[in-house]
Structure formats: structure tokens, C-alpha cells
Amino acid sequence: MKGFFLTLEGLDGSGKTTQAQLLARFLEGKGIRVRLTREPGGGLKGVRDLLLKEDLSPEAEYLLFSADRAEHVRKVILPALEEGFWVISDRYLDSSLAYQGYGRGLPLPWLLEVARRATLDLKPHLTFLLDLPPEEALRRVATPDRLERTGLEFFRQVREGYLRLAEAEPQRFRVVDATRPVAEVQAAIQSSISKLFP
């Protein structure tokens, strides 16, 4: 692969979309070609509305995320990486491990087995976890979707899952305090990214 695969993760309301857009502008200012994308909906049209509005079993929820991710990897992420782009994805597999694994209680070995085939074993080079307390995350969400209405305890488990994932892969994850102002969060991200440049 010629490009670089970078993901932003965190609870709903943590500012992932804003930070992804700001990071894309920063990298483009350095002459880097960037492909900005997101999940769900990066691979299958219409799946985002289905996942965020329909009442689904945890298993169906995960398999729909995985189907979308399989198309996302094959049709968007890998082609862009092969062309030398930096791909910035607002969510990827870690979201499913945190939400459907730690949050919903689905077994991680099964999630990972499905994920290996769905993603062709593609892992991000770098992941920023925008961390903040679930109470603050839910307070920031103006119009809650189906997942965001699950309740505070669910989001506590999801946050704990994210932190465990970060602890297990410290070489890939950078945990950023997302309670800080937008500009400070972006400065922390840019500082970390700048260390990759010669």
C-alpha cells in the first residue's frame, strides 16, 4: 500500500466528524492527497438509515455493519490507499468491537472472525480515540438516534471497551481528551501526526 490509513473513534458526540474534517484540511495544506470517509454508509447506500432507525438484534446490527464495512474496504479504502491517498475514516472496526462487543455483549472472538473476512484483515496505521465521559457525550447529542437512546450504562460499557482496545494496542492508538475545546483537540491530533513527517 502506498497510502496511510487513519481512523477516528469515540462515543457519539465526541467530535469525530469535526476533527476528521479539520485534519483533512491540515493534511491537504501539506500537499497530501486525502480521502475522507465514514461508517456506517461508506460502502452500502441506505445502510446508515437502516442501522440508526430500525429495531435490530445485536447480531443483525453487527452483520449489517460488517456488510457495509466489507464494501467500504473493497470499493473506497483499499483503492484510495493503492493510489497513495491518506484515508481518514470517521469510525471503522473498533466502533463495532466497542459498541456491539463491549456494549451489546456479543462475543469478541466471533466479531473478530467475521471482521477478518469483511475487512481483508485491513487495520488502520493510526487511530485517534476521542475520549470523554458518556454523560458529556450524550449531553452533546442534539437529536439522539436509536443507538444513542440505549442509555447511560450502555455508553459506559462502550467507553470502557474503547479504552481496553487502546490499552491493548498502544502503538496504534492515541487517546485524546475530547472534553477540551475543538481547537485544542485538533492541535493534539496535528502534533501527533506531525511526528510522522520527516
pLDDT of 149: 61
Write out the residue range of the structural domain in which residue 83 sits.
4-194
pLDDT range class, residue 55, cuts 50, 70, 90: confident
- The reported pLDDT for the residue numbered 181 is 96
Grid cell for residue 152: 447511560
The band of 71, judged by pLDDT with boundaries at 50, 70 and 90, is very high
Position 49 pLDDT exceeds 90: no
Number of structural domains the chain divides into: 1
Can you tell me the distance from the alpha carbon of 117 to that of 96, in angstroms, rounded to the nearest whole number?
15
Residues 117-163 have pLDDT tens digits of 999 999 999 999 999 999 998 887 766 555 656 778 999 999 999 99
CB 102 within 8 A of CB 161: yes
At 195, the pLDDT band (50, 70, 90 cuts) reads confident
Greatest extent of the chain over all pairs of C-alpha atoms, in Å: 49
52 has pLDDT over 80: no
Note the pLDDT tens digit of each residue in 90-127. 999 999 999 999 999 999 999 999 999 999 999 999 99
User: Given pLDDT bands bounded at 50, 70 and 90, which one contains residue 1?
Assistant: low
Residue positions in the annotated binding site for ATP?
10-17
CATH number at residue 118: 3.40.50.300
**pLDDT value at residue 44:** 87
What band does 48 get if pLDDT is binned at 50, 70 and 90? confident
Provide mean pLDDT across the span 69-91: 97
Tell me how crowded residue 13 is: count the other CB atoms within 10 A of its CB: 20
State the Cα–Cα distance between residues 166 and 15, nearest whole angstrom: 18
Q: What is the pLDDT of residue 31?
A: 94
What is the tens place of the pLDDT at every residue in 12-47?
A: 889 999 999 999 999 999 999 999 999 999 888 888
pLDDT of residue 141: 76
Which parts are annotated binding residues? 10-17
Exposure string of 155-170, with b = 16+ CB inside 10 Å and e = fewer, is: bbbbbebbbebbeeee
- Helices and strands, number each (H, E), in the chain: 9, 5
Q: Is 97 exposed, middle or buried (0-12, 13-18, 19+ CB in 10 A)?
A: buried
**For residues 18 and 180, what is the distance between their CA atoms, to the nearest angstrom?**
13
